[in-house]
Amino acid sequence: MGRKIDIEKIRRVVVRVPNWLGDAVMATPILGAVRASFPKARIAVLATPLPAQLFTTHPAVDEVLVYDKKGTHAGIGGRLKLIQELCSRSFDLAILFPNSVDAALVPLLAGVRRRMGTGHQGRGLLLTHTYDDAPMRETRLHQVENDLRRVGQFGIAGGSGKLELATTAAEDAAIAELLADAGIAPGEFVLGVNPGATYGSAKRWYPDRFAAAAAELGAAWGAKVVITGSPAEAPMAAEIAALLPGAVNLAGKTDVRGLMALIKRCNFFITNDSGPMHIAAAFGVPLVAVFGPTDNSATSPYTPDAIMVRKPVDCAPCMLRECPTDHRCMTEVTAADVVEAAQRLWRQVSGKQ
């Protein structure tokens, strides 16, 4: 439904990005396309508190609006406040990633004349521009490519087509100081280890295997190991640190902005399928990602400098948060598998330098 957007009529655009950190990173090529398509427009991102931090210095974004649905914008009164905030900015176009009715209803009530998104769950009546997904069902596309084709149906195209994030010089300097305090000099090789995955335990490989792989790679590369993670993942990170004398455990010690700068500083990254995996991909950090229950064809790291390690078990991808059986998709992945993949990728990457 709908037609191509008249570029000359668009002065203000709001992009409602996904709620998951990794999905929000994968939305960044759309921001590049929006900026290329509407070069004179003011572009705002509307995001929940965690992913909102990704965009405060994004080159395609002029303003970040935080949608705090558990705080300021909770309940009917909170939604009315959000509607008023959007209404006061007189947006001409809303591009909506979440598939919920709420995501489509808010900009409608805020008077945004053009509202673009999927028509799933009966949302078609709330939108002016709905995607035709029929051509995309014929091939299995990566989520980034799928989203670019969707907005391309309405003439929104251009940009690099790549993931893009940015940190400030001050944020980079703060991480350099944090690492220096831990005994890591600016020129030293940093191997990042990310054992967490917010979606659920089924996506998490095992701490002892992360430790074994990091120990072997660290010795081979003369690398300093840095463990990343959220405050909730700190106990898991501590397990790994206990098995790796000399490793620097920074899990729970940075916010999203600090995590971005920390991952950007890494020379190599080993990780589960997670938000930090996509952050590493956005910064061009070579990475090995362990995939188990999730569909790697749609959400693999969107970068040429990545290798996925997964086993072709009959029950994967199941997309479950918790494994109801024996977790064979992860138990079959060994430390040796990850080490071999990492060494192979590093030979490829270092050969291009």
- What percent of the chain lies above the pLDDT cut of 70? 97
φ, ψ of residue 301 to 5 degrees: the values are -60, 125
Given this model, what pLDDT does residue 1 score?
A: 55
Q: What is the pLDDT of residues 49-62, one digit of tens each?
A: 999 999 999 999 99
Average pLDDT, the chain: 92
Given this model, what pLDDT does residue 321 score?
A: 79
**What is the Cβ-side half-sphere exposure of residue 39, based on CA atoms within 13 angstroms?**
3
Look at residue 138 and tell me whether its pLDDT is greater than 80. Answer: no
Integer CA distances (angstroms), 142 to 148, 160, 169, 221, in order: 10, 16, 32, 32
Is 199:321 a contact under the CB 8 Å cutoff?
yes
Look at residue 7 and tell me whether its pLDDT is greater than 80. Answer: yes
Residues 6+ apart with CB under 8 A from 123: 99, 101, 104, 117, 130
Given this model, what pLDDT does residue 347 score?
A: 96
Q: What is the mean predicted confidence (pLDDT) over 94-123?
A: 93
Given this model, what pLDDT does residue 312 score?
A: 80
Range in 136-145, 293-302, 336-345 with the lowest mean pLDDT: 136-145
Range in 131-140, 151-160, 285-294 with the lowest mean pLDDT: 131-140
Given this model, what pLDDT does residue 137 score?
A: 63
Given this model, what pLDDT does residue 325 score?
A: 78
**What is the Cβ-side half-sphere exposure of residue 23, based on CA atoms within 13 angstroms?**
16
User: What is the pLDDT confidence band of residue 135, given thresholds at 50, 70 and 90?
Assistant: low
Dihedral, CA of residue 146, residue 147, residue 152 and residue 154, to nearest 10: 120
Q: What is the mean predicted confidence (pLDDT) over 304-328?
A: 83
User: What is the pLDDT confidence band of residue 123, given thresholds at 50, 70 and 90?
Assistant: confident
Q: What is the pLDDT of residues 203-253, one digit of tens each?
A: 789 899 999 999 999 999 999 999 999 998 999 999 999 999 999 999 999
Q: What is the pLDDT of residues 166-177, one digit of tens each?
A: 999 999 999 999
Give the burial string for 163-193 (b: 16+ CB within 10 Å, else e). Answer: bbbbbeeebeebbbebbeeeebeeeeebbbb
Given this model, what pLDDT does residue 327 score?
A: 77
Given this model, what pLDDT does residue 55 score?
A: 98
Given this model, what pLDDT does residue 84 score?
A: 97
Look at residue 328 and tell me whether its pLDDT is greater than 90. Answer: no
Look at residue 72 and tell me whether its pLDDT is greater than 90. Answer: yes
- What percent of the chain lies above the pLDDT cut of 90? 79
Spell out the domain ranges in the chain.
Answer: 7-152, 169-352
Q: Which fold has domain 7-152?
A: Rossmann fold (3.40.50)
User: In which element (H, E) is residue 65 found?
Assistant: strand 63-66
Q: What is the mean predicted confidence (pLDDT) over 124-146?
A: 83
CA distance 271 to 182: 22
User: In which element (H, E) is residue 191 found?
Assistant: strand 190-194
Q: Does 169-352 match 7-152 at the fold level?
A: yes
| Architecture per CATH, 169-352 | 3-Layer(aba) Sandwich (3.40)
Is 273:297 a contact under the CB 8 Å cutoff?
no
Given this model, what pLDDT does residue 320 score?
A: 83
Given this model, what pLDDT does residue 136 score?
A: 57
